[in-house]
A = this chain, B = another copy of it.
Amino acid sequence: MSNSEFEELFQKVCNWGKWGPDDEKGTLNYIKPEFISRAAALVRSGRSVSMSRPINTRSSVGNPNPAIHHMTMGYDLNLSDSQPQFVSDYLGCECHGDAHSHFDALCHVAYNGKLYNGKPLSTVNTQGAKFMDINVSANGIVGRGVLLDIPRLRGVKWLEPGEYVTTRDLEEAERSEGVRLGEGDIFVFRTGHYRRLQELGPWDPDYSGEGTAGLHPTTMILLHERKVSAFLPDGDGDTVPMNVQGVRYPIHALQISSMGMACGDSLQLEDVARVCEELKRWEFMVVVAPLRLQGGTGSLVNPIAIF
């Protein structure tokens, strides 16, 4: 894809100004209260499923910034004569990367020197983001999740690094599962990334390594037209490498900078895919609850699917 084709695509799906010049919520604006009620109405079997990976404290080629988890108080202390005793711990972690399930704030990505809605880069400094931080989603992202399970569609265990998914694939997955992504929906996108990780071990998912399976940039048109509100992939959505002139991670640029779409990253969709298969339905209630980190560019999350 040439750079000018990409620019055209960027404009085509762009939501700048759509919800006013000061909007910080982007496509989350698509979620109307009635959609939340409708999503809750999908809860019939009373099962809830994590869409998060375990937090990873081991460094590897795919986890160069491992989380630190330290016990800060153990049962070896006798702090006072009084019962009870307590233990405590500490967690430190980079909020992004390819190893931890997290959620991106809209301030996380800029394109051509601008953030979503045309905000300048200077709204983010070493003390954090003044606008479009992760705290914008403080009240949680609640809605109907629709899983499009591409490995299921293709009859494979997972997509290989570098494989990409087209609009046609997404539409076929919809047909095959009997669902249709619609206004306000949360698009749960499975490539089988985490299954591959478990079976083959870590690899470098970046341009420096084998890469990742993901979406083709043109699929953003579908997401835009359907008014999808949020995106929960098991990779980060991007296909790596993707041949767009002068643009690495085009999906990030399109989703976050242009569309203002609330995006998860590095989820674990094996469990939810299994439950969908078992219940033969690929729609469910989703609740994502980012930590309330003011000024934060993202947050570790454990998104929950409820059936």
Contact = CB atoms under 8 A, between A and B. Distances in A.
Interface of A: 32-37, 39-50, 52-55, 58-60, 63-66, 68-77, 80-97, 101, 107-112, 121-122, 124-129, 135, 138-140, 142, 246-249, 252-253, 256-257, 285, 287-304, 306
Question: How many copies of this chain?
Answer: 4
A288 B34 CA distance: 22
A297 B87 contact: yes
A22 to B, nearest CB: 20
18 contacts: A36-B47, A40-B41, A40-B42, A48-B140, A54-B135, A74-B126, A76-B122, A83-B246, A84-B256, A88-B95, A90-B93, A91-B92, A91-B293, A92-B93, A140-B302, A287-B289, A288-B289, A290-B302
A86 B129 CA distance: 12
Contacts of A83: 111-112, 246-248, 253
A91 B90 contact: no
Contacts of A257: 84
A80 to B, nearest CB: 7
